[in-house]
Structure formats: structure tokens, C-alpha cells
Amino acid sequence: MTLSFHSPPKRLHPHHQQKQTEEGHIQNPEMTTLSRLQLPSPTKPYFHLRQAPTRYLPNQSPSVDFRRWDPSNPSPPPPPPTLSSASAAARRLSPIARYICDSLRRSHHRWGPEVLSDLDKLRRVPPDLLAEVLKTLTDPTVASKLFNWAGKQKGFKHSFASYNAFMYCLNRSNRFKSAEGVLDLMSAQGKPPSEKQFEILIRMHADAGRGLRLYYVYQKMKEFGVKPRVFLYNRVMDALVKTGHLDLALSVYGDFKGENLVEDNVTFMVIVKGLCRAGRVDEAVEVLGSMRERGCRPDVFAYTAMVRVLVSEGNLDGCLRVWEEMRRDGVRPDVMAYTTLVLALCKENRIDSAFGLFEEMKRRELLVDRAVYGALVEALVVNGDVGKGCELLKEMMGSGYRADLGIYNCLIKGLCEGDWVDKARMLFEITIQEELVPKFNTVKPLWVSYVEKERMDEFLALANRVRELGLPVLDYLCEFFSFLFGKGEGDSKALEVFELLKDKGYCSVSMCNVMIEGLHKVGEVKRALLLFKEMREASDFEPDSSTYSYVIPCMVDDGDVKEACSCHNKMIEMSWIPSIAAYRSLVTGLCKLGQIRQALMLVQDCLGNVIDGPMEFKYSLTVLHACQSRKAEKVIEVLNEMVQQGYPLDDVVYCAVIHGFCKCDNLDGAKEVFLAMRRQNILTETNLILYEDLLVEHSNMLSVELARAGLKLFSRRSKTRSKLTRVLGILS
């Protein structure tokens, strides 16, 4: 806006002055930004405000409100409202497209009378404008309504742009089948689809990995008589190969050759990579020969892609064959090809071939990656050649590389296994000097070697060193004891190390839990219970929920089910949930003692507290429900289902059969179930006799409990009757 003074001053016409006074602003369609600016008073110096021509930026819209615009009224529109949408996509829209989008937004993206009323104010929605709006919509229902409404306009015909935008909108909402239906709609409306529409659908399916739908679109393209270009053929075959449909890709390749089209490098490489992924290396080599005949020799990138595909499939023999084909064509492998093949050979422990390629890389003065050094060092250590691995480490460091912790861990493990513990200890110190943080895998081989050689002083020295570094030494020791018990023969050594560490102050509740769990696994139940007793007596190591969960199975195996139940009650008092192993051991112990009702109560408690309880517990409740029918056939069906699913028929299931039929007073039904399991060789003769005796005992126990309950009820009624008699006597 510019200020310009005019001389001599001009007075306004009285009519204009009155209009200005009544309305309070200047009515000039071009001066939209000054619509609220008051004119100066006549008593002040006269000057004239002149606005520069309005220039709209690309992200601005004209100041026209189409909701109030009437073409028959020549009066200028009122000031424009503030733009409601601040998104970048909305600012790029044309004014009328933004008007339609705002109408949909105000109606909460629902098609209704409000939207139709706003659309009726427009003279016409051309196809390009419709395509512009459809590109911004995300609701397929609203997009379909708008698309159909636009098609009903007089003289309107959809363009390819509107059809394409509609397909994009449907695909964004994962309505790809509806997007495919647009092709039939185009044909029905007299506008047969071209290759572009099929290319859109093929690209959508390829990006989403829908190979079968893509092949369906390809077949539909043939039905419409559309002949794709070489580019589109390549796109179809590549998507089919990537989605694992090589046979369909080869059938498309047959159609390609039937159209007398000429293959390019992309066509050949798509087929070759698909054949390599399927392990059909011979056919891939034949295709390479066809490429040479056509003058399409693969370059180093194509061969590298083939090598990577074969490596990902674990086909090293085919990979080496392709490598020979690459040399036959005179193609020199690059660093990526060498690195891919060397890493694969080291992983499969083909150390000789890997070293041959490694030496070839050095002769060609190619940059050897640190991953190659690391893979070679690890392969050498696995083969027992630790000395050569250390020499390779020196060579790597001489080349300017810095070894990572994985390489040091591998060498330390190899030195310890090769009875060079002192050198491994020196390498551990070098790891610290390199400012690397040792992990448990770094110190574990050293600790194992010290324990096996009974060098406990050095074991403690290494533990002190780990503590000085600020590392969680107690967590490392817990993992170390788990490793010792996992070997199956380290219980005595683990106890010796534990006692030594406990005297030196290296002890925690977690470490005691690991010891109790490990001792129970190796059958040292007495020692585990003794350790638990020491924890209870010590004030510094109060047992936690994990401790009780590990001790309960030990007590059950030791035959002290009563004490195990007291531990369970202690956990309930502390609002702790026992582990599934603790629940199983308790239920099994109670079943063996004939405490069937208590065992089933624990089953219900476990399923109520644990998210994924044992399946035998769930089936036991199913058996109880089936027993209510008093039919043995239904219970036998449940047990057969358990056997088919691979779940064992343990004590809790048979106890559920006993309790369920005893509650229904049908002992013969339980015996029939046991005999059926015996005929199927699921139940042994000894267990059959045991469960029948348990059935009789449980039935007698329920009868006794019922009798006691009746006596209590009768005594209560007698006491109530005597009290009532005395009260009536007093009142009389």
C-alpha cells in the first residue's frame, strides 16, 4: 500500500459522502484489505489512499466467498472469511476445490443435504476440479458419492484424470477391489481403460505386495485388449518374483516373448533373480547365456544382486557358480560383491574359500571392510586357529580399523578354550584400554576357565576388576551361575564358588534365587532348602516372590506339601502371584495326597491370576463341566481331545474326573472312564488301581463331610428350637 498526496485537493461527491457515512467503509472490490479503513475527516489535510494491485501468491486463494456469491448481483462480495484449513495440501488447492473441501469438512465428511446445498451453488464441477478434490479425500464413501454426483451433471463426462484420482482414493483406504472395479465402470461409461489405468493398479498392488491381485489385473488387461509396454511387463514380473510367484512370472514372460517384444537388461535380471531365489541356478545360467547372445551382458551390479539373492537363500554352491560366470564375462567384482560372498562363506565355515577371496581383495587393493575382518576372525576361532585370528586382528588394526567388542569376545573365548587364559586376560585389559565396555560374554570364558582350573584368587580378582569398572558384577555372576547349572555338571563347582563369593560380599537375593532354581534342576533339593533356610535367618537377604516360587517345587519334591502350602499362603498374604511351575507342583502334590478339592481350588486360583495358564488346568475344568451330564462318553471325548492336541493326562485331570462324578454320585461313570483310558493304553494297570482306590476314598470323604454338615445343621435347629421354647415359657 502506497501513500500519495494530490494537489489541488478534490472534495468527494455528496452522494458518495453520505454513502461513506452510512456504511462506514469504501465499497471498492479491489480494496479488500482496506474494507474497514475510515476515510479522513474534511477538516484534516486531504490525502488519498491508493492500494497496490492485488497479487495472489501460489499458496493464497482469491478473496471470493462462493457461499454468498450470486452471479445476477453485480455488487462486490463481502470481505473473505479466514481460511479454515491450515494444511499445506489445502493451501495448494484452487479456490473452488478448497470451497468443496471446506463444505465436506463442515459436515464432518458426511454426504448430506448441507453438502448438496453448497454444491448446487456452483454452476458446474468440471472433471479436472473433481480430480483435484478426489486427490485430497480419504473417506472412500464420500469420494464415491461425490464421484457419482459429478457424473449426473448435465453433459458431464469423466476424464482419465478423474478416474485415476478416484482409483488412488480407493486404494488409500485399502479398497483395492473397488479400485479394480473402476475399470469396468470406465468401460460401461464408454471410456475404455488405457494402459495408464492398469499401470496405476499394478503399481498399487506391487507396492503393497499383493502378487495374486496384480496377476488378476494383468489378466484383466489382456481381456480389455491392452498391450503393455516392456516397462510394464518388467514391473509385473518383478512384483510377482518378489512376492514368491515365480511360475506366474514365467508365464508372463512367455506372453512377453509371444508379443515379439525385445528383452532389455531389466527383463533378463528380473527372471534371473527369480530363478536364483528359487534355487534354479541351471536355468539362471541359461538365461545369462541368452543375455550374451542378445548383447545384454550383465554388469557388476547385476551380478552382485544375484550373489546377494543366492546368499539370502543359503545357496552357496549356486553363488560360487554365478561367481564363475561373472569371471567368464570379464566382470571384475566390486567391494560389495566380495564382502557379501566372504561373509556368507565364513558363516558356513568355508574358511579356505573365504581367505582366497580375502587375499584377492588385497591384491586388487580394494577396501576391506571391518565386517570382513570380524567374520574371518570368528571363522578362524571356530576352526581352532586362534593364533592366526590374533595375527589378523593386528593386520586389521594396522590398516586403521578399530576392533569392536564382538571380535575381542570371540578371541577371548578362543584363547580360553585353547588353554591360554593369561593371554585372554591380557586381551581383556586391552579391551578396556580401547574404551570398550565389557559385557557378560567378555568375562564368562575367563570365569569358566578359572573355575575349571580352580584358580579362585584370579576369579575374585576379575570380579573386583569388573566392579571397579562400574559394571553390574552381581548381574554377571547371576548369569554365570545360570550357565554353570545349564551345563548339567556344575552343581558342586557352583556351590563352591557361591560360598566363596558369599564370604567376600558378592551375594544378593537374585543370586540366591538362581542357586535355588539350579539346585532344584540338578536334583539337589536338600541343598536348595538349606539355602532357603539361611535366607530366612539372614536379615540382609529377605526372600521375594521368585524365591518362594522356586522353593515350593523343592518342598513338594521333598514330600513336605504342608510347608509348601504355607509358603503359598505367605505369598497370598504379600499379594504375590506364584509362578506356573509352583502352581503345578502344588496341585500335583495335593492330588497325590488325595486332597482333590484343595487341588481344584488351586487350579481355579491359577487360571484367575495367570494370563496364560496351563492347558491341563483348563481341561480339568472342562472335565468337571462334562461330569455334570452324568455321562462317561462326554468325559471320554474331552480326554481324547487332550490326547489329540498333545497334552498329557496327568493327575489333576483324573482327579477332576473323580471329583466330578463323586459330586454327581455316579462312581460307575468314573470307573468307565478309567477303563476306557486303560483300553487305549493311556493309563497303566497300576495307575488304574490307584485311581479306583482314590475314587472310593474321595467318595467316602464327601459322604462324611455331608453327614457332618447335616449334623451341624440339625444341632443348630435343635438349639434354635430350645431357645424358642424357653422364650415362649418366659412370655407365658
In angstroms, the CA 217 to CA 180 distance is 8
Q: Which of 315-329, 443-457, 526-540 has the highest mean pLDDT?
A: 443-457
Q: Are 498 and 463 in contact (CB under 8 A)?
A: no
Pull the grid cell for residue 122.
456452483
pLDDT digits (tens, 9 = 90+) for 356-365: 999 999 898 8
Three cell numbers at 53? 494491485
Q: What per-residue string of b and e applies to 62-81 under the rule 16 or more CB within 10 Å gives b? A: ebeebeeeeeeeeeebeeee
pLDDT of residue 72: 52
Cell numbers for 350, please give them. Answer: 568355508
Distance, in Å, from the CA atom of 691 to the CA atom of 702, rounded to the nearest integer, reads 16
Question: What values do phi and psi take at 622, rounded to 5?
Answer: -65, -40
Check residue 443 and give its pLDDT: 94
Host H or E run for residue 681: none
pLDDT class of 77 with cuts at 50, 70, 90 = very low
Which pLDDT score is estimated for 446? 94
Q: For residue 683, give the DSSP letter.
A: S
pLDDT value of position 49: 32
Write the pLDDT tens digit of every residue in 101-120.
Answer: 888 887 767 787 888 887 87
Confirm whether 723 is domain-assigned.
Answer: yes
Kindly report, residue by residue over 472-489, the tens digit of the pLDDT: 999 999 999 999 888 765
Residue 578 · residue 548 · CB < 8 Å = yes
Asked whether residue 210 is assigned to any structural domain, the reply reads: no
Other Cβ atoms within 10 Å of 536 Cβ, number: 12
Q: Please say whether the beta carbons of 386 and 415 come within 8 A.
A: yes
Give the total number of structural domains in the chain: 2
Of 7-21, 577-591, 631-645, the least confident: 7-21
Output the pLDDT for position 590: 92
**Does 163 have pLDDT greater than 70?**
yes
Residue 626 contacts residue 659 (beta carbons within 8 Å)? no
Is residue 356 within 8 Å of residue 388, measured between CB atoms?
Answer: no
Mean pLDDT of 656-684: 89
Position 557 scores a pLDDT of 92
Angle ∠(714,719,724) on CA atoms, nearest 5: 125
- Cα dist. 433→408, 428, 436, 443, 710 in Å? 12, 9, 7, 15, 82
Q: Give the amino acid at 532.
A: F
pLDDT band with cut points at 50, 70 and 90 for residue 61:
very low
Give this prediction's pTM. 0.66
If you search the block for the grid coordinates 462462493, which residue do you land on?
Answer: 66
Q: Is 294 helix (H, G, I), strand (E, B) or coil?
A: coil
Distance of CA 172 to the CA centre of its chain: 22
Q: What is the rounded distance in angstroms from the CA atom of residue 513 to the CA atom of residue 303?
A: 55
Which of 156, 103, 159 is closest to 131 using CA atoms? 159
Helix, strand, coil percentages in the chain from 3-state DSSP, rounded to 5: 70, 0, 30
Most confident of 62-71, 141-150, 286-295: 141-150
Question: So what's the pLDDT on residue 349?
Answer: 86
pLDDT reported for residue 22: 37
Mean per-residue pLDDT, 677-701: 88
Domain membership of residue 7 as a residue range: 2-50
**Residue from 643, 691, 642, 634 nearest 667 by CA:** 691
Whole-number CA gyration radius for the chain: 43
Q: Which of 394-408, 645-659, 712-726 has the lowest mean pLDDT?
A: 712-726
Q: Once rounded to an integer, what is the mean pLDDT over residues 221-225?
A: 87
Burial 231-268 (b: 16+ CB within 10 A, else e): ebbbbbbbbbbbbebbebbbebbebbeeeeeebebbbb
Within a domain: 704: yes
Q: Tens digits of per-residue pLDDT, 256-266?
A: 888 888 888 88
Q: What is the DSSP letter of 51?
A: P
More confident residue, 294 or 339: 339
Counting Cβ atoms within 10 Å, is residue 126 exposed (0-12), middle (13-18) or buried (19+)?
middle
Contact 271, 253 (CB under 8 A): yes
Helices (H), 93-193: 95-106, 113-120, 127-134, 140-151, 160-172, 176-188
Q: How far apart are CA 63 and CA 662, in angstroms?
A: 88
Contacts of 277 (CB under 8 A, 6+ apart): 241, 246, 309, 312, 313
Q: What is the pLDDT of residue 30?
A: 37
Q: Which amino acid, one-letter code, is at 667? A: L
C-beta separation of 349 from 379 below 8 A: yes
Residue ranges of alpha helices (H) inside 439-575 are 440-452, 456-468, 473-486, 491-503, 509-521, 525-537, 545-557, 561-573
pLDDT of residue 727: 55
pLDDT digits (tens, 9 = 90+) for 555-596: 999 999 999 999 999 999 999 999 999 999 999 999 988 889
Q: Both ends of the chain: CA-CA distance in Å?
A: 114
Q: Is residue 203 part of a domain?
A: no
Angle CA 70–158–223, to nearest 5: 170
Q: Are 405 and 434 in contact (CB under 8 A)?
A: no
Share of the chain above pLDDT 70, in %: 83
Q: What is the pLDDT of residue 664?
A: 84
Q: Given a cut of 60, is residue 51 above it in pLDDT?
A: no
**Cβ–Cβ < 8 Å for 362, 369:** no
Inside any domain, residue 340: no
Q: Measured between alpha carbons, how far is 606 from 578 in angstroms, rounded to an integer? A: 8
Residue 344, Cα to own-chain centre: how many angstroms? 27
Q: What is the mean pLDDT of the chain?
A: 81
Asked, as a colleague might, if the bond just before 8 is cis with ω within 30 of 0, I would say yes
Whole-angstrom distance, CA of residue 640 vs CA of residue 644: 6
User: Are the C-beta atoms of 211 and 240 separated by less than 8 Å?
Assistant: yes
Is residue 87 scored above 70 in pLDDT? Answer: no
More confident residue, 294 or 178: 178
Note the pLDDT of residue 139. Answer: 83
- Is 191 inside any structural domain? no
Task: From residue 161, give the alpha-carbon distance in Å to each of 95, 102, 280, 379, 574.
Answer: 19, 22, 43, 59, 70
Residue 230 exposure: Cα atoms within 13 Å on the Cβ side: 11
The pLDDT assigned to 418 comes to 87
Give the span between the Cα atoms of 723 and 727, in whole angstroms: 6
Instruction: Return the C-alpha cell found at 376.
Output: 574371518
C-beta neighbour count of 385 within 10 angstroms: 17
